[in-house]
A = this chain, B = another copy of it.
Amino acid sequence: MIREHALRNGKIIPEEKACLPITNREVQFGFSTYESIRVIEAHPVHLEDHLIRLGNSCKGIGLEHPFTQQELSSWVHELIRVDMLEEASVRILLVGGKEPLCFITASPLLTYPDAYYTHGVGAITYEGERLMPSCKTGNLLLNYMALEKARGSGGFEALLIDRKGQALEGTRSNFFAFRDGRLYTAKDEDVLLGVTRERVIQAAKVLGIEVVYQAPQAKDLQQGLYDELFISATSMAAMPLSSLDGKAYKPPFDRTNAISALVRSWELET
């Protein structure tokens, strides 16, 4: 892996030139959408799904651009080829406006210690609602602040609680919780439709677990009505929670890890 280049509107540039002009109004307003794609064995995992979601994000916020899905796909492959990326995280960023910008950049693949999966990770709850929850945009201050608060108390993730008291999703993950053998998660329209979330739901079905689209109430989580919690994301697959707001959940997290293993096994399928 070299990681020396980036693409700007389809043209290869040195990575240090991948930057956003401060005087650009759309940069100032965060009028942008993005996707982060896992590259494994030089293969961009579920690229088509990411590109479809990118299109939906643009549609959702009214960001018009001239780049076709085929172009975006070929540019991702070009960066993988030019920089010989075997394992990496590739980011596609679209900035709207009169002269839309598309940047494709790479960074080291995010990986986590095995212990995170065997022992779980800590999380907190954080009150706040994302604007346009189904769109992946540059409007991420809530996510940033919530995650900073989690990290400040040694945690790994913050779950966002909406005005109805529902635990909808994490700042960079979707959220799932088991209760009486069923797997609960938020309704599609209330959260980011995670590419990995979709696989988690498929995996649960393969394992014979019923999925219920109803977000857990924060107060029910606090009262211990759910017995195994996990978060999902491209970089994490399914990662168990060892605690939420100090309430502990004990290993083994067999159901979560079975789902995680299945989700990972599907990564190299095209």
Contacts and interface: CB of A to CB of B under 8 A. Distances in A.
A28 B20 CA distance: 11
Interface string A15-46: 11011111100111111001000000000000
A148 B238 CA distance: 39
Contacts of A20: 19-20, 22, 27
Contacts of A29: 138, 140-141, 143-144
A232 interface: no
Q: Report the copy number of this chain in the oligomer.
A: 2
Interface of A: 6, 15-16, 18-23, 26-31, 34, 61-62, 91, 93, 103, 105, 107, 128, 131-132, 137-145, 148, 163
Contact of A18 (B22, B62, B144, B163): B22
Contacts of A91: 22-23
Nearest to A132: B141
Contact of A28 (B131, B132, B138): B138
Tell me whether chain A's interface is mostly helix, strand or loop, or mixed.
Answer: mixed
B107 A23 contact: yes
Contacts of A105: 22-23
Contact of A22 (B31, B62, B103, B128): B103
B148 A62 contact: yes
A141 B148 contact: no
Nearest to A31: B144
Nearest to A104: B22
Contacts of A22: 6, 18-20, 91, 93, 103, 105
A26 B144 CA distance: 8
A15 to B, nearest CB: 8
Given A23-B105, A23-B107, A132-B141, 8 more contacts: A30-B139, A30-B140, A61-B145, A131-B131, A131-B141, A137-B141, A138-B141, A139-B140
A21 B15 CA distance: 9
A148 to B, nearest CB: 6
